[in-house]
Each structure stands twice: as C-alpha cells, then as structure tokens.
Amino acid sequence: MTESEERFLVVRLTALGDILHTVPAVAALRAARRTARIDWVVERKWAPVLEGSPAISEVIPFDRGSALGAVACAQRLRRKHYTCAIDFQGLYKSSVLAMLSGAPRRIGFEGGWAREEGAALLYTERVTPAGRHVAELNYSLAERAGALRPLKPEYPLRIPAGGVASVRARLAERGIGDYIVVGPGGSWRAKCWPAERYGEFCREFEKRNGLPAVVIHGPGEETLAEEVCRAAIPATPIVIATTIEELMGLLAHARCVIAADSGPLHLAAALGTQVVGLYGPTDPARNGPFAPGAVIISEARPEEISYKRRASYSASMLRITVEQVVEAADSCVKAAA
C-alpha cells in the first residue's frame, strides 16, 4: 500500500484539554504521512477547534446526545474505507466507533492504560505507551501508526477569522485594547482557585500593569465570573461569554492567560499565548500545558495528587497565594512584550 492510499481515522471525541493533548500526535503522524488521508471524529461542539488544520483532511462531527446522529456518523465513517483507526480516548464508546468505522487495523492503549479497560478488547493492536505526560502517551499510539516522536510539540491549529473579528469588535465597544484573560472555571471544584482570589489578583495586576482582565466562563459558570468581578473592585474586569471560535480569537491575542487545569488554559498554550497554570490535585507533569514557556504554580504535596472529582476547594489550591500569581503573570506579560 502506498502512502497516498493510507486512510487514518483519529478518534478523540472530548474533552477540550484532552483533544489538544492529542493534536501533537496527529501532527507527528501528518509529518510522517504527508499524502495520506487523516480524518478526525470529534464531538460537534469541539469541531471548530480542529477545522482548517493542515494536519487533518476532514473533521467529522459526532453528535453525542443523539442516537440517530451517532448511527449516521458511524455510517459516514464506514463509507470512508479507513485502513487504520487510532483510538486516543480509550473508552467503550470510542473503541466501538473505531470498530464500526470498518477499519481493519485498530490501534489503542493496552487494557491497563485505557480509560475503560474493556475498550482494549476491540483493538487489533494494543500499545503500552511510553512517557509521563498525556501528550507523550498519545505519541506512542501515533508511533505505532508510523509517526516519529518530534523534539517539540506542534499545534497546527487555525484561528477562525470570524471569531477574531467578532471578539475584537466586542472588546472595542468596551474600550479594551490589550488585556489578559482569567478563567476561574473548571470541571470540578477541587482543582479550582477561589473566585475571591482571582478578583484580588485582577485588582493587584491592573494596579501594577494597567491591563484589564477579561473573565471567561463556561455554561453554568456565570455566577462564578460575577463573583470574580465583585472581588476585584475597584478594578473593572469584564465578563464575556464566547463561542468556541471567539474564545480562540480571545485567547490567541491575550497578553497572558491565567487559569487552573482546564480546557481554556490548554487552548491558550496550544495557540502560543503565555499562560500561568494553577495546579493542585492534578499533576502538571501529566496534565500540564504541553507547550514551551508555560508557567506552572503548584503547592501540592505528592500525597495530594488525586483525580477524584471532589466538590470542595483542595488544600493544595488554597496554598497558592495571590502574590505568587501576580508575580508569575508579571513575568509572562514582560516576556510577551
């Protein structure tokens, strides 16, 4: 089989941070298989992050909440006649989707490394990965498909022009030119930093640097963003809700992004923006921004590393001080100047 006849299907449906930790592996596969077809099936809401990437031939949206949509997606995949499917997710649903694609070769993690151990039963090739960071583990799957592990990660993402124009216009209406971004949200409370500390940070940072903060939030986090703004008085950060296209534009042009372990933090790092990541129970060596220059603040003790979704702030996150974050953000802004 010639390289141009190879047809790869990448399966990584969600979540945003994990999708971004898969991009370098797919970029490495593209570098090794320049004329092959490489498609990526992903949940529809995250598809705009990958659209236009030169590493990907086609982004195929998956409708998670629709049984009919899932069936239609599987049928669409089968018509593509893939020669190899690579499941970077390691769940039953992702491994089943890889199998339903009809690809005769299906690569995934060995059972002990898959998120759901039984998913490995549906692969034709099971890989014991090498590395510590999630992105390094993903390289192992790409290597089995023919990629070479690069010296540094690449994120061939394309920022939607419409998203950039829209968010710039919205900021201009508020009189904002240069800015930093603060992301107080997170998928679970234990890995978040308190809203009042983000507010104190915004107040002190604006006093020192004259730069306003733009506070972003996800669905259901509006109250959290408002708490940040109240705690920041007399500084005047603004709260902004965005589409994913606007979020990419906002993060790409920020002077610095400050957030806990979350999708926006990893998206900003992938887009080349200076970031300050606040880490507590999750291990930055495994789940930190996989990009050069990222600044990590962590006060966690080894025994405190845990991925349990606890609903209260963790002691390790509460040890991070406002002054630590201000100093880190100061250095990032100076580096980006």
* Alpha-carbon radius of gyration of the chain: 20
Rounded (to 5) percent helix, strand, coil in the chain? 45, 15, 40
pLDDT band at 67 (very low <50, low <70, confident <90, very high): confident
Per residue in 197-233, pLDDT (tens digit) is 999 999 999 999 999 999 999 999 999 999 999 999 9
> What is the pLDDT of the chain when averaged over all its residues?
96
Whether the pLDDT of residue 337 is over 90: the answer is: no
Domains and CATH numbers, the chain: 3-144 (3.40.50.2000), 161-336 (3.40.50.2000)
Give pLDDT, residue 68: 87
Q: Is the pLDDT of residue 65 over 90?
A: no
pLDDT on residue 38: 98
Determine contact, residues 28/55, Cβ cutoff 8 Å.
no
On the question of pLDDT at 2 being above 80, the answer is no
pLDDT at 275 (0 to 100):
98
* DSSP single-letter state for residue 79: T
Which residue from 12, 42, 20 is spatially nearest to 272, judged by alpha carbons? 20
pLDDT value for 47: 98
pLDDT of residue 66: 83
pLDDT tens sequence across 174-202:
999 999 999 999 989 999 999 999 999 99
- pLDDT above 90 (res 1): no
**Interatomic CA distance for residues 273 and 332, integer angstroms:** 9
d(CA 149, CA 42): 23
Over residues 120-176, the pLDDT tens digits come to 999 999 999 999 999 999 999 999 999 999 999 999 999 999 999 999 999 999 999
Question: Band of the pLDDT at 114, cuts 50, 70, 90?
Answer: very high
Tokens 């508020």 locate to 174
Residue 32's pLDDT is what?
97
Query: What is the pLDDT at residue 103?
Result: 98
Q: How far is CA 253 from CA 47, 124, 173, 222, in A?
A: 21, 43, 17, 23
pLDDT at 64: 85
Check residue 25 and give its pLDDT. 98
Is residue 6 within 8 A of residue 33, CB to CB? The reply is: yes
